[in-house]
Amino acid sequence: MTDEAWPLSFEFFPPKTEAGLEKLGATRVQLAGFQPGFFSVTYGAGGSTRDNTRDIALDIRSAGLDVAPHLSFGGDSEQAVIDLLNTYKTAGISRIVALRGDLPSGMGGAMQLVHANELVAFIHQHFGNHFKMHVAAYPEIHPEAKSYQDDIYWLKEKFNAGATAAITQYFYSADAYWYFLDQCQQAGIDQPIVPGIMPITNFQNLARFSSNCGAEIPRWMSQQLQQYGDDLESVRQFGIETVSRLCEQLLDGGAPGLHFYTMNQVEPISTILTNLGREAD
């Protein structure tokens, strides 16, 4: 394992309640001790969390931390997106995670989604190089992709439009990531593609989410997790062990950092980072 402090980032989602917000504040303070390069804040499908995402991002920024709000066009006008980006720029925010997003449930056909490469080009057109733009990448391929190579083609288009780095959908097979990196390299992509890491705490939720987003839980893992049933302590221990091992393999193999889907929780990420030799201040 490398001794250098590899780049690290943490993703939050905007909580719906005051209690959730308070907990997020405490989570952020604890995770900040691990010296992440930035925090990111998700954007609900169709812009449904627009104000909350903005407020949390501004709050993180006002604490002196680097933050990347996620953004998609949703159903918003170009002017509304420009206004939001101007608010971010004025607050000293200089990163965005630029996405197409998905349709909010029940909105089938009522909203035209704007592809991420077009959003990246739009931001670049209006804000030049002010924002470092991170985009999504899919080592196990986006569920709507026409083919493996087509998905890589569109990833390259996001970089051609001005993205500076990609963060991947989570995966549990390091080989899927290495193969994807090889294919991206062959397609002429040389920007960093940072693995997104999803800790395991609840098998049912993970299985449901994974089947929607096209991430695969390897059979040996799902068999073992199913067998633990309601024994949450065993799920927790297995999750920590397998995800720590995955992270170690990724870093040893030269991954350009790790991005954690925190689910607004300190644990088990703090234990995984400690296993990787990364100590909090």
| Site for ligand FAD, rule CB under 6 A | 42-43, 45, 70, 72, 97, 99-102, 115-117, 136, 142, 144-145, 150-151, 154, 167, 169, 196
Of the candidates 189, 207, 190, the one whose C-alpha atom is nearest the C-alpha of residue 198 is 207
**Shortest distance in whole angstroms from residue 262 CB to ligand FAD:** 12
Question: Is the separation of the CB atoms in 77 and 104 below 8 Å?
Answer: no
**Shortest distance in whole angstroms from residue 187 CB to ligand FAD:** 13
* Partners of residue 260 on adjacent β-strands: 10, 197
Residues 6+ apart with CB under 8 A from 5: 35, 278
Which of these is catalytic: 11, 233, 248, 267?
11
Nearest to ligand FAD of 119, 273 (CB atom)? 119
Active site annotation includes 241: no
Tokens of 48: 């449904």
Of the candidates 140, 138, 190, 127, the one whose C-alpha atom is nearest the C-alpha of residue 160 is 190
Which DSSP string do the residues of 84-124 spell out, in sequence order?
HHHHHHHTT--EEEE----PPTT-TTTSPPPPHHHHHHHHH
What's at 237, amino acid-wise?
Answer: Q
* Partners of residue 12 on adjacent β-strands: 41
**Shortest distance in whole angstroms from residue 52 CB to ligand FAD:** 12
Residues 6+ apart with CB under 8 A from 260: 8, 9, 10, 11, 196, 197, 199, 269
**Shortest distance in whole angstroms from residue 58 CB to ligand FAD:** 16
**Shortest distance in whole angstroms from residue 2 CB to ligand FAD:** 23
**Spacing of C-alpha 96 from chain mean position:** 11
Nearest to ligand FAD of 28, 70 (CB atom)? 70
**Shortest distance in whole angstroms from residue 259 CB to ligand FAD:** 7
Nearest to ligand FAD of 130, 142 (CB atom)? 142
Residue 142 exposed, middle or buried by CB count within 10 Å (0-12, 13-18, 19+): middle
Nearest to ligand FAD of 145, 276 (CB atom)? 145
Q: How far is 42 from 13, CA to CA, in rounded Å?
A: 5
Nearest to ligand FAD of 36, 196 (CB atom)? 196
Using alpha carbons, list the distances in angstroms from residue 196 to 8, 167, 238, 260: 10, 6, 19, 6
Nearest to ligand FAD of 61, 70 (CB atom)? 70
Catalytic residues: 11
